[in-house]
Amino acid sequence: MLLPLSGPGSLGGVAKAMKQAGELAVINGAGPEFQLSVKDDMGTPEGAKAAAEEAVREGAEIILGPLLSASVEVVAPIAAAAKIPMIAFSNDRRVAGPNVFLLSFMPEQDIERIVGHASAQGRRNFAALLPDDAYGRIVEQAFTKAVATAQGNVIAIERYARSGAGMLEATRRVGEALATAGDGSSPADALLVPGEPETLTSIGPLIAYARIDTTKIKLLGTGGWDAPNIGRDATFVGGWYPAPDQRGWQTFADNFAKTFGSAPPRIASVAFDAVGIASTLSANPPASRFTAAGLTRANGFTGADGVVRFNPDGTAERALAVHEVQGFGSSIADPARTVPPRGQPPQAQAAARPPHVN
């Protein structure tokens, strides 16, 4: 497993938690022959290259990670030359490929799920308030595509720089656009606001200041909303966001806290599930352990983050529920679906998910 253990800022702390999550997966379910070696890629492409080359020399049969897309790009040809598959943690689908399988949560799937649910609930006219960066551009493209698929209308898209003044001005503009649309024959009824809790803390008061009536205009989020304290700001209460069913995550988080004495960051479960997938496949005979056919098996895998299935192009399909924000935590607005055999429609998943990948 390649992680930026000595990466800058908070990156090292996140990497440490992901390392611990991987170790927890080994403790909880790996067979006696399974060995996990964790290497520091330092959060740089150069460090990732050196770590991957070392892993290949040591006889690694599968590479888990890296976390950063630039590092994945550098490691991919090294793994391919050694005929070693990768389960990487980047959410940039541009680095996915036939030998690079992305286990992280894809923004595109978040948007497809939440817009689809809103449309099914009668929402037809959508607006979006997006960060003006690479992530925002990915979300914007997915948003316009999802709204078109749902036969809805895009009323407005506003972009903000990640500064107080930039957020204020963009929120004001989207508020004016929503008010104008509300005076016409096609009133806006949904506003997409992707972001992590830190960003939402700044945006919430601005939405209220812009007089956006969230009792009429449903706020839609992404997986970044998946935090127990988001409802502390009443602006977001009643909003919808996509995320796995909480039962598997909560079991993992409780086990992590008991083992290591602190709560895990949300992304830690991705490392836990990656090790679980590798451990499961390692039970196969040596020649067929980590093959493309095994990684893309039709029924996928079930872990802390629910059901996931890899596609031949390296992207992943996930079973996501739609959650509704409450004052503390959330409730299920629409249950997660199983990831069905290809070509079959999804069915509601009623059973609790086990915490281990199988």
Sign of CA dihedral 173, 179, 183, 189: positive
**Range 111-130 average pLDDT:** 96
Q: In 3D, which of 174, 180, 178 has the Cα closest to residue 206?
A: 174
Confidence class for position 164, pLDDT limits 50, 70, 90: low
N-term to C-term CA, the chain = 19
| Cβ neighbours of residue 9 closer than 8 Å, sequence gap 6 or more | none
The yes-or-no verdict on residue 33 having pLDDT over 90 is: no
Q: Please, what are the domains in the chain?
A: 2-102+246-319 (3.40.50.2300), 107-243 (3.40.50.2300)
pLDDT in tens, 138-163: 999 999 999 999 999 999 999 999 76
Q: What is the DSSP letter of 95?
A: G
- Residue 121, SS3? coil
Residues 64-114 have pLDDT tens digits of 999 999 999 999 999 999 999 999 999 899 999 999 999 999 999 999 999
- Helix or strand run (H / E) with residue 155: strand 153-160
- Angstrom distance (rounded) from CA 114 to CA 163: 27
The answer to whether the beta carbons of residues 117 and 334 sit under 8 Å apart is yes
| DSSP annotation of 44 | S
Q: How far is 183 from 188, CA to CA, in rounded Å?
A: 9
CA–CA distance, 109 with 318 (Å, rounded to integer): 8
pLDDT at 22 over 70: yes
* pLDDT value at residue 276: 95
* 262/147 Cα distance (integer angstroms): 40
Helix axes 11-29, 268-281, angle to 10 degrees: 40
Residue predicted with more confidence, 224 or 353? 224
State the residue for tokens 């897309």: 69
- 173 vs 279: CA distance, rounded Å: 50
Biggest CA–CA distance in the chain, Å, is: 67
CA distance 136 to 132: 6
Task: Name the residue among 73, 109, 100 with its Cα closest to residue 322.
Answer: 109
**pLDDT tier at 63 (50, 70, 90 boundaries)?**
very high
Query: How big is the chain, counted in residues?
Result: 358
Q: Tell me: the pLDDT tens digits for 184-205?
A: 556 789 999 999 888 899 999 9
Q: Are strands 190-192 and 125-131 parallel, antiparallel or unpaired?
A: parallel
Structure pTM?
0.83
Give the H or E element holding residue 108: helix 107-120
Give the pLDDT confidence of 295-343 residue by residue, as tens digits: 999 989 999 998 899 999 999 998 899 999 999 889 999 998 766 455 5
Assign 30 a pLDDT band (cuts: 50, 70, 90): confident
Q: Assess whether the previous peptide bond of 66 is cis (omega < 30° from 0).
A: yes
The span from the CA of 135 to the CA of 93, in Å, is: 11
Residue among 146, 140, 82, 90 at smallest CA distance from 115: 146
Measured CA to CA, the distance from residue 272 to residue 228 in angstroms comes to: 21
Q: Is the pLDDT of residue 261 over 60?
A: yes
Residue 4 has pLDDT above 80, yes or no: yes
- With bands split at pLDDT 50, 70 and 90, how would you rate the model's confidence at 183? low
- Type of residue found at 338: T
List the beta bridge partners of residue 12.
none
3-state secondary structure of 190: strand
